[in-house]
Amino acid sequence: NAGVTQTPKFQVLKTGQSMTLQCAQDMNHNSMYWYRQDPGMGLRLIYYSASEGTTDKGEVPNGYNVSRLNKREFSLRLESAAPSQTSVYFCAITANYNEQFFGPGTRLTVL
Amino acid sequence: EDQVTQSPEALRLQEGESSSLNCSYTVSGLRGLFWYRQDPGKGPEFLFTLYSAGEEKEKERLKATLTKKESFLHITAPKPEDSATYLCAVQAHTGGFKTIFGAGTRLFVKA
């Protein structure tokens, strides 16, 4: 039972390159989230998915797209990476009492 | 606008020196207030959920309390292994599944 997994763990991109961050859960919950965490700013919601087939924008969606592939998987895509997207990205799920379980994070640097 | 402010930003304690972390919040109808612990290089780990003013929850050396405007995380006789960043977050009844996070308090406990 791995909980929430994310790949890759680290990534370095050049400005303008694209990439997809992968998230998978084996906890059988409907809601999945993508956050970014920057020093001094806390976790900010990028996109979330309340259930398979639905996605909604969060606080900072610009420059990102998401896909809820099935109940288990929720991916985050950067079409044209910018230095402002250098951050740590966390995927999370909401459990039965609204608490969230997080993946280990992806550390992204955009040069 | 829903908001969470944590103080202090950083707290340095000697082992055994009890203290409290503060989380002030404004939210349009509180669904729940959450505390998480985050170790360096890892995702946040769920600690507590508080639902209504006057509620208290305890886990080992940690005790969380809630009023209508703020929450405290009391740390009794801390040990070096309690060193981490502690995050506070809120969910509003009107916010769907969105969770608003504070920037966190970095706790350092010296032996």
pLDDT digits (tens, 9 = 90+) for B72-85: 999 999 999 999 99
Cα-based distances in Å from A60 to A43, A66, B3: 11, 13, 16
What is the structure's pLDDT at B14? 98
Q: Is the pLDDT of residue B97 over 90?
A: no
Q: Are residues A42 and B98, on separate chains, in Cβ contact within 8 Å?
A: no
- The whole-angstrom separation of Cα A49 and Cα A93 is 9
pLDDT digits (tens, 9 = 90+) for A9-42: 999 999 999 999 999 999 889 999 999 999 888 8
Q: How far is B45 from chain A (nearest CA, A)?
A: 7
Q: Is the pLDDT of residue B66 over 80?
A: yes
Which chain B residue is nearest to residue A30, measuring alpha carbons?
B97
Q: How far is A30 from chain B (nearest CA, A)?
A: 11
- The whole-angstrom separation of Cα A43 and Cα A63 is 17
Cβ-nearest to A42 among B34, B45, B101 = B101
Q: Are residues A43 and B44, on separate chains, in Cβ contact within 8 Å?
A: yes
What is the structure's pLDDT at B7? 97
- Assess B45–A contact: CB distance below 8 Å, yes or no: yes
DSSP B80: G
Q: Strands, DSSP E only, in chain B?
A: 3-7, 10-14, 19-26, 30-38, 45-50, 56-59, 62-66, 70-75, 84-92, 99-101, 105-110
Share of chain A above pLDDT 70, in %: 98
B57 CB-near residues (< 8 Å, 6+ apart): B48, B49, B50, B63, B64
